[in-house]
Amino acid sequence: MSRLIKKAAYQAVLQQEEGLKILDEIFKTLDPARPQDRISIEQARDLISKAGEQFKDSMDWMAGIFEE
């Protein structure tokens, strides 16, 4: 596997991990035992959008690998 492909694959994984971290942040705010950690719907939408961008970037990296 070429070095460029390895770097692209690694970057894709990093992007996915970032997206999962963002989703984990959102899920933590849904704990009914911790109402002080709740976030607004707007904040949740922004975080979901940010996670979606991370996953899209990951897919772009993966698409680049297959084009190689």
The sign one gets for the Cα dihedral 57, 59, 65, 68 is negative
Secondary structure (3-state) at 33: coil
Average confidence (pLDDT) over 4-14: 86
pLDDT band at 68 (very low <50, low <70, confident <90, very high): low
pLDDT over 70 (residue 1): no
- 21-61 pLDDT per residue, tens: 999 999 888 888 888 888 888 999 999 999 999 999 999 88
Neighbours of 52 (CB within 10 A): 13
- What's the pTM? 0.76
Tokens encoding 67? 């084009």
**Per-residue pLDDT at 31:** 81
**How far is CA 7 from its chain centroid?**
18
Taking the domains of the chain in order of start, what are their residue ranges? 3-67
